[in-house]
Amino acid sequence: MSDKPFPRKRFGQHFLCDQAIIQQIVAALAPKPSEHLIEIGPGQGALTLPVLKRAQHLEVVELDRDLIPELEERTERAGKLTVYAADALSFDFSRLKTDQRLLRIFGNLPYNISTPLIFHLLTFAPFVSDMLFMLQKEVAERLAAEPSTADYGRLSVMAQYHCCVELLFDVSPSAFFPPPKVQSSIVRLVPYHDNPYRADDYALLEAIVKQAFNQRRKTLRNSLKHMVEDKTWEAIQLHSDLRPENLSVRDFVALSNAVRKA
């Protein structure tokens, strides 16, 4: 009987094992020794090992402590691996920025926490150069969705407020053990360090977007009636009978800035 760690359902673990896909992801990441690289959820090291060989130093955040000894053993000759046994959902990524280099974050994100984890990572956007993730295809499409489409929602708006989002390629379930029941996609997020549309009050923008999409079938006048006065709609020349998916990131920023000034 094998004593190797088995994927745990409670951690949403699906280990990547297709070498062609691994090479394609590493090529998309294009790691260099001069860069500050951080991997989330290295698992059994499918991406960790080839990235570490190229970068020579890599930091990883892993929740499953049972995987860490094997990971350290597999990579000991490839370069310097620094392991943080922690939950990425509550991890302070800003503490890893100890010099002038911005962080490059990548990983095969657990499907069961990918959306809240992305919201958490977006709070560290000022410290990040780029992020490359494997996600459930549905989540990746929501990240990149355009206004007035079914996939466009709160995640789309907040991700695109912070980042340029690019869908790269799909990954079939057969590339994993055990195979997930869903298709996966690789997505790149590149934070803006000079936001094209800047919110005067970011917390207010977050609250407006969340409230609007919590009742996405309602018109904005109804869903935001306790937050936006009639005169504000007139001032920014947005139709209050629209639904939230009809507003672009620019529109939501304009709305939140107008509410703040009202």
Q: What pLDDT is recorded for position 110?
A: 84
CA-derived radius of gyration, the chain: 20
DSSP line for 187-220: EEEEE-SS-SS--SSHHHHHHHHHHHHHTTTS-H
**63/91 Cα distance (integer angstroms):** 10
Q: What pLDDT is recorded for position 139?
A: 97
Mean per-residue pLDDT over the chain, rounded: 93
Tens of pLDDT along 194-243? 999 999 999 999 999 999 999 999 999 999 999 999 999 988 989 999 99
Percent of the chain at pLDDT > 90 equals: 87
Domains of the chain and any CATH numbers? 9-191 (3.40.50.150), 202-261 (1.10.8.100)
CA-nearest of 210, 104, 110, 107 to 155 is 210
DSSP line for 96-152: G--SSPPEEEEEE--GGGHHHHHHHHHTTGGGEEEEEEEEEHHHHHHHHPPTTSTT-
**38/178 Cα distance (integer angstroms):** 25
CA-nearest of 104, 159, 93 to 131 is 104
- Lookup: tokens for 122: 């977006």
Q: What pLDDT is recorded for position 13?
A: 59
Model pTM score: 0.92
User: Which positions of the chain have pLDDT values less than 50?
Assistant: 1-12
**83/72 Cα distance (integer angstroms):** 8
CA-nearest of 226, 262, 228 to 247 is 228
Q: What pLDDT is recorded for position 262?
A: 84
Count of Cβ atoms closer than 10 Å to residue 94 Cβ:
12
**242/225 Cα distance (integer angstroms):** 13
- Ramachandran region of residue 86, left (φ > 0), alpha (ψ -120 to 50) or beta? beta
